[in-house]
Structure 1
Amino acid sequence: MLANEWKKNAISVMDKIEETQMENIRKVAEVMADTIEAGRWVHTFGCGHANLPIEEMYPRIGGFVGFHPLCELPLTFFTHITGEMGIHQFLWLERAEGYGQSIMKSWNFDEKDVVWIFSHTGINAVNIDVALEAKKRGMKVIVFGSASETGNKVPRHSCGKNLFQIADYVVDTCCPIVDASCQLKKHQDKVGPLSTMASVTTVWMTICTVAEILEERGVKLYIHPSHNVPGDTTAHERLDACIAEYKKRSAGL
């Protein structure tokens, strides 16, 4: 069954992440912890399915305040497929040089902030725009994607560098460049992509490490609680504290 093949492929990617990326994950977790401890933001950015790991972070049960999504609706909502905000418009926008510059102009950043970008291939212009603009503003750039498979690909950007070549820190999601992993007998294209699973895996490996570092430093974490546990009478109070902290940090953004 292809079900078992996909699971085997997914586990293989997760094992490779553990074998090769733990040092990189620790490095980026230290950088993020420094930013959050300073009361600043880890800004997150991705297009299409690379937005899904961002949705996993916050607000999310088990996530905590410190991660700010730089989400643009035309780059993240394309499930109409056709018509308004369809897939063709999305594909054009993510390759449109200059769009990312306009996105970055809409926010107020600080040199202590970090920008965390997700991209499987690292070649599309909007991601590269965001990375270049972040560096102009003195921010560190962290990129998660299939670096070993795509790290030397030619970018769709006039700067001549892809996202992995621009980044200060890279974590390799260890996915094949084609992404899909299961071959059918009568079709050219494979099914069963792995990049979302790999991105979410590396996200939580990283964020859990950030939490561990901050706790060791004595920093209070504002963790989003579950609202569904019978007998937990303070969940809404803890949620209110999270939202209040988020509001305080986001003032002036």
Structure 2
Amino acid sequence: MLAKQWLDNARGVMDKIETTQIENIKKAAEVMADSIEKGKWVHTFGCGHATLPIEEMYPRIGGFVGFHPIVELPLTFFTNIVGQMGVNQFIFLERVEGYGVEIMKGHNFDEADTMWLFSHTGVNSVNIDVALEAKKKGMKVIVYGSEAEAKGKTVKHSCGKTLFQLADVVVDSCAPAEDATVTLKNHVDKIGPVSTMAFMTTVWMTVTTVAEILADRGVKLHIHPSHNVPGDTNSKERLHEALEEYKRKISACQ
């Protein structure tokens, strides 16, 4: 059964993350915790399906203020597929050197901020632009993606380096280079990608570690609560408090 094959493949990736990436996740979480403790941001950026882990972490039940999503509409999940903002345009845009520089101009940054980037391949120009600009501004750059599988790939940016080579800390998503993992009879291409699942896994492993570090330091977290739990009469107030804190902090970033 192909469903079971995909599930086994996904579990295999998660197991590999657990056995090989815990220390790297701790290093990344320490950097992020330092930024949040100082009242600064962990900015998050990705393209295509690599925007999904960004959308997952905040605003999200169980997430907390400190993570600032930078999601550029033409580079996000493309539901039109063809026509306006379709797949062809997305593939072109993510490879255009200089586009990431323009994206960065739309926000204010502090050298105590952290830039957290997601990229399966680590070779496309927009992500590399963002990483280079972040480093110019003094920020630490954290990259999550399939680092081991990126070795030897052709870089599409004039700097000649992959996104992983520019990072201060890398967490390998452990997803295979081709992403899809299940062979289908009578077809050349596989089905059943695992990179999004790998990103979501590493996101919550990281965010929970950041929360643990900050709680141990005595830092108050503004957590996004569930507002659908019967009997929790204060959830709306806690949600309001979290959103007000986000609004207060984001004013310096825009």
Matches of 2:60 and 2:33 in 1, distance apart? 19
Counterpart amino acid of 1:70? Answer: I
Counterpart amino acid of 1:204? Answer: W
Partner of 1:111: 111
Partner of 2:206: 206
Counterpart amino acid of 1:113? Answer: D
Moved over 2 A (4+): none
Could you report, residue by residue, the CA deviation over 1:189-245 in whole angstroms, capped at 9, with x for unpaired residues?
000000000000000000000000000000000000001101111111000000111
Matches of 2:240 and 2:140 in 1, distance apart? 31
Matches of 1:137 and 1:2 in 2, distance apart? 47
* 1:77 to partner: Cα distance: 3.9
In structure 2, relative to structure 1, the CA distance for the partners of 1:194 and 1:135 (3 Å cut) is same
RMSD: 0.7
Partner of 2:179: 179
Counterpart amino acid of 2:39? Answer: G
Question: SS at the partner of 1:56?
Answer: helix
Counterpart amino acid of 1:51? Answer: T
* 1:154 to partner: Cα distance: 2.1
Matches of 2:39 and 2:113 in 1, distance apart? 9
Q: Is the 8 A contact 1:151 1:164 kept in 2?
A: no
TM (norm. structure 2) is 0.99
In the TM superposition, what are the counterparts of 1:53-72 in structure 2 within 5 Å? 53-72=53-72
In the TM superposition, what are the counterparts of 1:139-178 in structure 2 within 5 Å? 139-178=139-178
Structure 1: which 5+ runs fail to align? none
* 1:78 to partner: Cα distance: 1.4
* 1:79 to partner: Cα distance: 1.1
Q: Is the 8 A contact 1:121 1:151 kept in 2?
A: no
Partner of 2:5: 5
Partner of 1:94: 94
Q: Is the 8 A contact 1:58 1:64 kept in 2?
A: yes
Question: SS at the partner of 2:57?
Answer: coil
Matches of 2:151 and 2:215 in 1, distance apart? 34
Partner of 1:37: 37
In structure 2, relative to structure 1, the CA distance for the partners of 1:65 and 1:166 (3 Å cut) is same
Matches of 1:141 and 1:197 in 2, distance apart? 22
* 1:248 to partner: Cα distance: 1.1
Structure 2: which 5+ runs fail to align? none
Counterpart amino acid of 2:82? Answer: T
